Amino acid sequence: MDAAAPVAGRPGPSLRRAAAQLIFPPASRFGVSGVASEEGPSVRIERALLSVDDKSGLPGLARALAALQIELWATGGTRRALLDGQVAVRPAEELTGIGSWFEGRIKTLHPGLLGGILAPRSDAGRRELRERGLLAFDLVVVNFYPFERHLVEHPDARDREEFIDIGGVTLARAAAKNHGSVTVVTEPAEYPALIDELRARAGQVSAATRRRLAVRAFERCTEYDAAIARGLGLAAGSPDGFPEEVVFRREPLRLRYGENPHQRAATYATVSPPGAGLRPSPFAVVKGDALSYTNLLDLDTALATVAEFAEPAAAVVKHATPCGVATGATLAEALANAVATDPVARYGCAIAVNRPFGASEPPALKGIFVDLLAAPEFDPSALEPLGHRPKLKLVRVPPPARQPVSWEAKSALGRLLLQEADRRDLVPGELKLVTRAVATEAERDALEFAWKVVRHAKSNAIVLADGHRTVGLGSGQPTRVKAVEIACEVAGARARGSVLASDAFFPFADGLDVAASAGVRAVLQPGGSLRDPEVIARADAAGIAMYFTGWRVFRH
């Protein structure tokens, strides 16, 4: 077939040539290769191709483009969605001469579209476009079949291959390759900024924006391919359940600084696993300065701690370790008991609660310097008194989930360390009594509360509890006896009659001796030390009830 001859349903060569001549700027605006550099000129958007699976924000984008006199073309499902929204758009089939082949597997893989995206904006490129009767596109809006979401929603599905996008990824790569002349958008979140720039620049897009969006498009293709490889690998079976590759991408959140003000810091979120695309930030700063690196560490510990409890709970955290935790019949009661644990350590603390923060809670914080306060919601009646604290940061987060992730990461020696998150719970009958003394029902209940807290404190970690409130914590010490000494010192007279939970075994009996001298009545620890018999004998001599769990809860 003559390349210039009209095809049924396709515009004739005169229309295509006229359109091509209108949209291409003079060759002198470009470099020798015909591609604009990062510092190059803005490019006017005359024609856009839209082909998206995620229709979020699509009608608004299309209306904004149409208002700027931009000609719109779209593939089948995208065009139907736009027509339903009363947006005029031309079908991409006019340029390809085909509709949907092989149950939709082939729709956009055609020179009628790819040629108009990849053609260089040079004299030779414009001449070849005219000769082949092609239209040029200078904006491509595309996103992919939701392969990642399909994995999450249907982890046992056998039809994973059917959710692998080929055409969309090809369009994105082609447009990104030619970003000197073509703008590519792969995420609905980018629509508002694109619209703003087009309006401000009379329909033009800067070279810097085109390059940034092209980089993001290549990143998205990389993420998508990695998710596919991982998904197919999981279908084949993974020996240990860990992915071969984990993809992180920088979030728009800007941190004030790192651990110290002279250190820069940034946050990165997992793209996959487990979700599709970059997940939105789980929190919002309601009041106060931007968060810092240490704020996020404290917030993570505080939220994980209150997530242990179904009843109203509050956790006071300093340097990423709890220094006061309590539950109560009301949130006000829990908060008051949590902040009462350690009046010294709580200075400049972070606090998280697992209930909306209302008018009854602010009095519990009177006279206490709190750096950050996190809650699922803040009642307007509580915001007024909290607003008088100029340095307080208020963070709204969803009610913390008991199992937000199945794995967690740290860095060491320039490497990413990945481990399964510690989500193991005590189960009935797991506590093994190893002493003659037996804990009362109330003491056993307090021991289980203390165990839920000690797993979030830094090793070596000791928690003293009275009912469902902590009275003393010692953590992050190189020796366990020192951690017991600190916990008992913090508790003072409150140690008498309390219970103790230890995140790991007592290597010597000295820690047990300190606890006995302070008046501790019951102990819960993993056991497993070579000196267990000696430790048990000291507990028997002191009349302390002691239980072993058989497993530890270190947190470094």
- Which pLDDT tens digits describe the chain residue by residue (556 residues)? 333 333 333 344 333 333 333 333 333 333 333 343 445 789 999 999 999 988 999 999 999 999 999 999 988 888 899 998 888 889 888 888 777 778 667 777 888 888 889 999 888 988 988 888 889 999 999 998 887 776 666 655 566 777 788 888 999 999 999 999 999 999 999 999 999 999 999 999 999 999 999 999 999 898 888 778 777 765 544 566 676 667 777 888 889 999 999 999 999 887 654 334 445 677 889 999 989 999 999 999 999 999 999 999 999 999 999 999 999 999 999 999 999 999 999 999 999 999 999 999 999 999 999 999 999 999 999 999 999 999 999 999 987 666 555 778 888 998 888 888 888 888 878 899 999 999 999 999 999 999 999 999 999 999 999 999 999 999 999 999 999 999 999 999 999 999 999 999 999 999 999 999 999 999 999 999 999 999 999 999 999 999 999 999 999 8
Query: Residue 534 has which token pair?
Result: 């000696």
Closest to 121 (Cα-Cα) out of 3, 205, 30, 46:
30
DSSP 8-state secondary structure symbol assigned to residue 79: H
> What's the whole-model pTM score?
0.68
Domains in the chain: boundaries: 13-235, 282-396, 432-548
Q: Which of 55, 110, 319, 482 is catalytic?
A: 319
SS3 472: strand
Q: Is 319 a catalytic residue?
A: yes
Q: From 1.20.1260.10, 1.10.1510.10, 1.20.140.10, 3.40.140.20, which CATH number describes the 432-548 domain? A: 3.40.140.20
Which string of DSSP letters, residue by residue, matches 320-342? TEEEEEEE-SSHHHHHHHHHTS-
What topology is assigned to 13-235 in CATH? Rossmann fold (3.40.50)
How far is CA 38 from its chain centroid? 31
CATH 3.20.20.330 fits 282-396, yes or no: no
Q: Is 366 a catalytic residue?
A: no
Q: Which of 110, 177, 287, 482 is catalytic?
A: 177
For residue 400, say if its preceding peptide bond is cis, omega within 30 degrees of 0: no
Do the two domains 282-396 and 432-548 of this chain adopt the same fold? yes
User: CB neighbours of 26 closer than 8 A, spacing ≥ 6?
Assistant: none
Long-range contacts of 12-15 (CB under 8 A, 24+ apart): 12/133, 13/130, 13/133
